[in-house]
A and B are shown apart, each in its own frame.
Chain A
Amino acid sequence: MKIKMLGAVLIAMMALIANPGWAQSAQEGAEVDRSATGGAQTLEDILRRQKQLEVDESFRSENLGNKDAAPPIDGPLGTLGGQSNSDIWREIRYNKIDPYVASPGPANKVLIQDEGIAWYKLREGPVITYGGLAILGIIVLLTIFYFVRGRIKIEGGPAGTTIERFKAIERFGHWLLAGSFIALGITGLITLMGRSFLIPVLGDEAFATLAAGSKWIHNNVAWAFMLGLVMTFVMWVAHNIPNKLDWQWLKAGGGIFSDSHPSAKKFNAGQKIIFWTVMILGVSVSLSGLSLLFPFEMPMFADTFGIINSVLGTNLPTVMTPHEEMQYANIWHSIVAFVMMVAIIAHIYIGSVGMEGAFDAMGNGQVDVEWARQHHDLWVEEVEQKEGKGGTS
């Protein structure tokens, strides 16, 4: 056993040593001799960049000349204020310049935004790849689950009598949230992935129309989503406070694999997980969405990173250009939306084809009493005690 552990540790250490990130930090500490190029980049820098390794740019981003040593304005080089043209271009390149702009605005003073390319690569690469794979992955998993487990039936068949599961206002709030989320999800995917997947199929002109329509829907349906989020939170938060019963439900796996029926009140632990996932991520995606909806007006990431740094001792950037704030908001918005989509696809499955009788709860609000007793026995008892009867037919 100890040998196995030792082997695992050795493999982990070898993987870390082989990781380019570690190799990079090992090189960062070493002083690079740039005397041969007069302080400019070396062949080694170029080769590292070609190998997709990070290059410490500070040797040139900080090499901006010395303004304090400026020769007088009437002397040689005086008009450049002690800086060479290269110094000034480096200032522009790394956004260290403080230019005068005739049209002052939050972002107008940034002439070149160096971090933008990192955002672009992240958005077009890992975000689309892993986000797309996550959605395809959950669909494949649920399909396999359906064929392995089959539809979860009402044991012994339906009773034929029904009980009111959700009032009309509850269902309205749910469908307002659900309908707007689906619209936002589809239009968001078109916006994010259309360039890669739809332009080759539809062509530029057709995609331009689709993209403009998607943008309009995405920007404006967002308000319905936020209203639905508030409505469902107010109506259901009291029923979604975690308690000891949830732990019992989780330990039994919700009875999905064992055909048992762990006790639950109005919402079981699985539903509570969906509720809090939607609420927490819904607020987060709404805030980043608002930041994107009103460009440069609601920067949030520098302040958020400041708080995270003070709590966790991390070293996240707290000084950002307005563009960088938008780029962080964009990436965060996409990541959170993908996590929500994965959770909601699973929720849609179990609320429709995955479980007999489940859709009725949100369909017409009336569920079969036997279904209710099997999945929410304590809630049925509460309702029966309140009403003093066994349900309505």
Chain B
Amino acid sequence: MKVMIAGFAAALIIAAIAPQVLDQFGWSSAEQYSNPETVRLD
């Protein structure tokens, strides 16, 4: 069960850091108000 919770937690951690990591490459997908030159969903 610990591994199951670790897997779920890892999914959330990846989700939380994804916008910042993408922004480093200039690939802003979901993050709002990031670099205005990059691709935005909204």
Report yes or no: B15 in contact with A217, Cβ–Cβ below 8 A: yes
Report yes or no: B39 in contact with A179, Cβ–Cβ below 8 A: no
A119 contacts the other chain (Cβ, under 8 Å)?
no
Kindly provide the distance from the CB of B19 to the nearest chain A CB, expressed in whole angstroms.
6
A344 contacts the other chain (Cβ, under 8 Å)?
no
Closest chain B residue, CB of each to CB of A226: B14
Report yes or no: A183 in contact with B30, Cβ–Cβ below 8 A: no
In the bound complex, what is the Cα–Cα distance between A227 and B17 (angstroms)?
14
In the bound complex, what is the Cα–Cα distance between A179 and B5 (angstroms)?
9
Report yes or no: A172 in contact with B7, Cβ–Cβ below 8 A: yes
Kindly provide the distance from the CB of A289 to the nearest chain B CB, expressed in whole angstroms.
10
| A179 contact set on B, CB distance < 8 A | 4, 7-8, 11
- Select B15's contact among A175, A221, A364, A365, beta carbons within 8 Å: A221
Report yes or no: A174 in contact with B30, Cβ–Cβ below 8 A: no
In the bound complex, what is the Cα–Cα distance between A295 and B8 (angstroms)?
28
Chain B CB count within 10 A is highest, among A179, A215, A297, for A179
In the bound complex, what is the Cα–Cα distance between A293 and B16 (angstroms)?
16
Report yes or no: A174 in contact with B1, Cβ–Cβ below 8 A: no
Interface residues as binary, A201-220 with B (CB distance below 8 Å gives 1, 0 otherwise): 00000000000000111011
In the bound complex, what is the Cα–Cα distance between A216 and B18 (angstroms)?
11
Report yes or no: A224 in contact with B11, Cβ–Cβ below 8 A: yes
| A180 contact set on B, CB distance < 8 A | 11
| A282-298 CB contacts (< 8 Å) to partner B | 293-295, 297
| B1-42 CB contacts (< 8 Å) to partner A | 1, 3-4, 6-8, 10-12, 14-16, 18-19, 27, 29-30, 39, 41
In the bound complex, what is the Cα–Cα distance between A318 and B4 (angstroms)?
44
Report yes or no: A172 in contact with B11, Cβ–Cβ below 8 A: no
Report if A219-B11 is in contact (Cβ < 8 Å); known contacts: A294-B39, A295-B41: no
| B39 contact set on A, CB distance < 8 A | 294-295, 297
A168 contacts the other chain (Cβ, under 8 Å)?
yes
Closest chain A residue, CB of each to CB of B1: A363
Contacts between chains A and B (CB distance < 8 A), count = 70
In the bound complex, what is the Cα–Cα distance between A60 and B8 (angstroms)?
55
Closest chain A residue, CB of each to CB of B5: A175
In the bound complex, what is the Cα–Cα distance between A220 and B29 (angstroms)?
9
In the bound complex, what is the Cα–Cα distance between A177 and B4 (angstroms)?
10
Report yes or no: A223 in contact with B7, Cβ–Cβ below 8 A: no
| B3 contact set on A, CB distance < 8 A | 168, 171-172, 175, 365
In the bound complex, what is the Cα–Cα distance between A177 and B3 (angstroms)?
13
Kindly provide the distance from the CB of A107 to the nearest chain B CB, expressed in whole angstroms.
12
| A302 contact set on B, CB distance < 8 A | none
Chain A CB count within 10 A is highest, among B15, B30, B39, for B15
Report if A221-B14 is in contact (Cβ < 8 Å); known contacts: A174-B7, A175-B8, A176-B7: yes
In the bound complex, what is the Cα–Cα distance between A176 and B39 (angstroms)?
27
Closest chain B residue, CB of each to CB of A174: B7
| B19 contact set on A, CB distance < 8 A | 220
Report yes or no: A221 in contact with B11, Cβ–Cβ below 8 A: yes
| B4 contact set on A, CB distance < 8 A | 171, 175, 179, 362-363
Report if A176-B30 is in contact (Cβ < 8 Å); known contacts: A168-B3, A171-B4, A220-B18: no
| A142 contact set on B, CB distance < 8 A | none
In the bound complex, what is the Cα–Cα distance between A124 and B18 (angstroms)?
30
Q: Which residues of B approach A to under 8 Å, CB–CB? A: 1, 3-4, 6-8, 10-12, 14-16, 18-19, 27, 29-30, 39, 41
Task: Return the 3 tightest CB-CB contacts between A and B, nearest first.
Answer: A175-B7, A219-B30, A220-B15
Name 4 extra pairs, CB < 8 A, besides A220-B16, A220-B19, A294-B39.
Answer: A175-B7, A221-B15, A223-B14, A224-B15
